A and B are shown apart, each in its own frame.
Chain A
Amino acid sequence: MTMSKDFESAVEGLAQGAAGSDAAAAGARTGPAADAASHASVPGLRARFGDAILHHEIVAGDEHVVYVQPEKIVEILGWLRDEPSERYDYLKDVTAVDYGGGRPLQVVYELWSIPYRRGLRVKAELPLDALEIDSVTPLWHAANWLEREVYDMFGIRFRGHPDLRRILMPDTYAEGHPLRKDFPLRGRFSRAEQTRRALSLGLEDVYFPEELEIGGVGYRPAGSASDGKGPGATEGGAA
């Protein structure tokens, strides 16, 4: 059965985990190069950026994927957004994929052009020892939280991000980045330790002090000294 053999080799690849980054690793780009003319944006991309466009393939029937050099990501996505013939003005999603086995991580940008009713998936591959890429928040504000989630789950750092911190896991989370293939499914700490840490979480571990401020009254952690006259109470009394 070829199918089960494929499955076994895939599981083997997973079991190897992130053994280290090999610059010569081919990544997960396995599909044959697609005809550039089959997507309206690819000839323009190739003409404008040349070698920075590494690969173009079609997956799942009609979904076009373009692999680009990570150094040029802001330049390329900015051109795709602003060029009158492209107008990819809607960033649907930013996410990442880890295929394991030491292969590079892929950062995935899902673009959609509202004027032309056209979609394009742009991927950039990052070797495991250099997980850094420029942030696209200057192009789309929507990328802010999406890139925070990628940072939280995969540990990819976004250069120039205005507020790069964890978004789902607490700031004090010390077990790593959960969606990486080398992350054990049940976490790194024991269940008792995870329970203890979870219950000792305070509001200040999840939120900024400014986010906890209500009506000018600052947040005061439990157990801190309180005279019942916070700044808000004084202001309220004066008014």
Chain B
Amino acid sequence: MRPVLEVSVQETDFDIRVLQQSLLCDESRVGGVATFTGYVRAHSEQRGVASLYLEHYPGMTERSILAILEESAGRWPVLSARVVHRVGELAPGEQIVWVGVSSAHRDAAFAACEFIMDYLKTRAPFWKKERSGQGEHWVDARDSDAERADRWQGQQ
């Protein structure tokens, strides 16, 4: 059976309980669900963050994340996988991203969830701008994110 893959890019907040439930589309086969929720940090690089603005590339964002979900389903026996990513203006403490994967066994669910998050960080076209008391600045990409994504290259 083909895995169920879904992507949402939205300004509104999301309910992780409802999202987790949505992964149980085929309850008789699901043995585990692994999820990751990302939050807006209140501090970065010694600066207090008043708010975060997320820009994206409409169309490419959804396509690139769907391609990542498809690749994860090719690597592991994923039953369903879903990503919700927020854009626009966000405050510290708010939920920003959610990744969930259901599978028959935990190893595939854990691995696919981590893979999706690592690839999303380096391949999905989002850009963060932090606003603080000292003004605003674009967040720089981190080498450590690229290194994490590279670990999956050639690995099955």
Q: Do A and B come from one complex?
A: no
